[in-house]
Amino acid sequence: MTFVHQNEADPAKKVSENLVAHSSTDAYGQDFIPKLKNHLLGRLLRRDFDGDEDLQFSDEDRATVRIHGQHIYSAKLLRINYTTYDMRRDQDSINPRTHADVMVLSPETGPNAHPFWYARVLGVFHTEVLHTGEHSRNNGLQRMEFLWVRWFGLEPGYRSGFRSARLPKVGFVVEEDDNAFGFLDPSLVLRACHLVPAFDAGRTNMLLKTVSPTAARFLDETDDWQNFYVIIWVDRDMFMRYLGGGIGHIAQTSALPADDLDIDSEEDGEASESAAAAGSSATNQNNPHHQQAVQPGRGDLEDDSGDSGDESDTEGLPVRDLESEEEEEDEEAEASDGGYNDDGNEDDNGFAQL
C-alpha cells in the first residue's frame, strides 16, 4: 500500500499510524484504510447505499475483510456507460486530473430533497478482497472496484429550480466533517457532471486547511473555490434529468421540488381561468340581457311550450329572403354562360353563331 503511506499527513487521507487496530489518531477522522474497509464490507453485505454515513463496523468486523497481497491498483480513467433520455447509449470518461466531477442518485427523501449527490473523483482503484466470517457470501477472492471521492454539499439556505430561475449551487464539504471524503461504487455513478465555479464567491482554504500539495486538489492549486454552479443544460440528456419525463430515466425521479413541477401548465391553467372569469364578468356587465340571448338553431329544441312562432322570440333578428337569393343566383348563371342564349344563337354581345 505504497499509495496509502505516501504523504500520510495529507488531510485527504490522514492514515493512522496503527493500521492493524485501525485506531484513528487524526483530528477529523479521514482515515483511508478504515473507511475503505467499511465501504467494501457494506457492499459485501449488500447494504443499501447511503454515502457510507451509517456504516458503523467494529474492528472485528473490518478484520474479516482482507485485501489480497495488501495491493490496491490505480487506474487513470473510468468510463461510465449510461442510457440517455431517448433510450440511446452513451458514455462519459472520468479522469481525476481533468474531468473528475460525477453525480449519483441521492438516497435522501423528502419534499425538498435534491435527488442528486455530487462528488469529485480523486482516484480510481480496484483490488482483490477475501471476505471471511459467518456473514461471508463468497469464500473466494473477489475483484472490487471503487472510487475515492471528495463530496460536495448543497449550499445551505439557497433555493434553486425552474420556478426560482437559479441553478443548483454546491460546495466542498468542510474538512472537519467525517464524511468530507469517502468511497463510491462506480456502478452508482449516473454520469459526469459539469460544475462551474461561482466566481463572485471567490476562493478559500478554510474548506481544506492546508496549502501543501494534496490529493484533494489539482496539482497547481493551494485552495478551493467556495462554491460551484451545476450546469444543467450541457446537453439534452442532462437537461431531461432535471426536468424529468425522459423514458430512459425511469429509475430516476425528477430533480425539481414538488412546487416546481409542471410550472408552465400550472401558469397557463391559472391564466386561462383568470381570463375566462374576467371575460364572463365583462360579458355579464356589458350585456344586461345576457340571460335572454338566443342561440341560433337551438330555439325549437329549447322551446318546450311549442310556440316557436312567437314574434317576440325573433324580434330584432335578420330575416332571410329566399326569393331574392334565387333571383341573384339566376343572374349570376346567365352572366357566366359564355354569351349564348337558350337557342344557341349569338346574343346581343356579337358572338358568332354555332
For 143-170, what is the mean pLDDT?
93
Query: In the predicted model, what is the mean pLDDT of the chain?
Result: 76
Within the chain, residue ranges assigned H as helices are 2-5, 32-44, 59-62, 236-243, 263-286, 299-302, 311-314, 322-335
For 14-40, what is the mean pLDDT?
58
pLDDT band of residue 252 (cuts 50, 70, 90) is low
Provide the percentage of residues in the chain whose pLDDT is more than 90: 44
For 140-151, what is the mean pLDDT?
96
Domain housing 105? 2-252
Asked if residue 312 belongs to a domain, the reply is no
Whole-number pLDDT of residue 147: 96
Residue 216 has pLDDT above 70, yes or no: yes
For 113-132, what is the mean pLDDT?
94
Q: What does the alpha-carbon distance between residue 145 and residue 124 come to, in Å, rounded to a whole number?
A: 8
Residue 147 near residue 43 (C-beta atoms within 8 A): no
Residue 288 has pLDDT above 70, yes or no: no
Phi/psi of residue 167, nearest 5 degrees? -75, 155
Asked if residue 284 belongs to a domain, the reply is no
Whole-number pLDDT of residue 247: 83
Whole-number pLDDT of residue 333: 57
Asked if residue 290 belongs to a domain, the reply is no
Lowest model confidence (mean pLDDT) among 18-27, 64-73, 110-119, 154-163:
18-27
For 208-213, what is the mean pLDDT?
89
pLDDT band of residue 329 (cuts 50, 70, 90) is low
More confident residue, 100 or 107: 100
Q: What does the alpha-carbon distance between residue 172 and residue 154 come to, in Å, rounded to a whole number?
A: 9
Q: How many domains in the chain?
A: 1
Whole-number pLDDT of residue 110: 76
Asked if residue 139 belongs to a domain, the reply is yes
More confident residue, 91 or 278: 91
Asked if residue 282 belongs to a domain, the reply is no
Asked if residue 232 belongs to a domain, the reply is yes
C-alpha cell at 69: 497481497
Q: What does the alpha-carbon distance between residue 157 and residue 166 come to, in Å, rounded to a whole number?
A: 13
Residue 106 has pLDDT above 80, yes or no: yes
Asked if residue 127 belongs to a domain, the reply is yes
Asked if residue 176 belongs to a domain, the reply is yes
Whole-number pLDDT of residue 163: 87
